[in-house]
Amino acid sequence: MVMLVALGAGVGGVMRYVLTQLGKNWWPGVPLATLVINASGAFVAGFLAMCALPQAWSLLLLTGVCGGYTTFSTFMTDAFILLRNRRYRTFAWYYFGTTGAGIVTLTIGVWLGSLW
């Protein structure tokens, strides 16, 4: 079971890295990629949580991939850097936008997963 989590976390981590690099090119100086990653991860996690997956699939996809893909620590670091650089408006938009987007996308994922 541990290997399933490790495999999923590796896949999720690589996905996060690729999207982060793309985000740095598309939106330099604004951590929008982390917002997209965390919101889309919340959606997928909500969906998977409602799908009643077998334990092995849940460990691989929900715990592994979603856990490796989403990143609370990067979210907090990006928010801190914006504050440190006195980019207060961007900080507020990013912090509350990420939190709001996460709640909304999780709710949509849960709703769609319950229909599955």
- Residue ranges for the known binding site are 67, 70
φ, ψ for residue 30 (rounded to 5)? -125, 125
Instruction: Extract the annotated binding site for Na(+).
Output: 67, 70
Identify the DSSP state of 30: S
Distance CA 44, CA 50 (A): 10
Q: How many other C-beta atoms can be found within 10 angstroms of the C-beta atom of residue 52? A: 11
> In the structure encoding, which two tokens stand for residue 13, read together?
């981590």
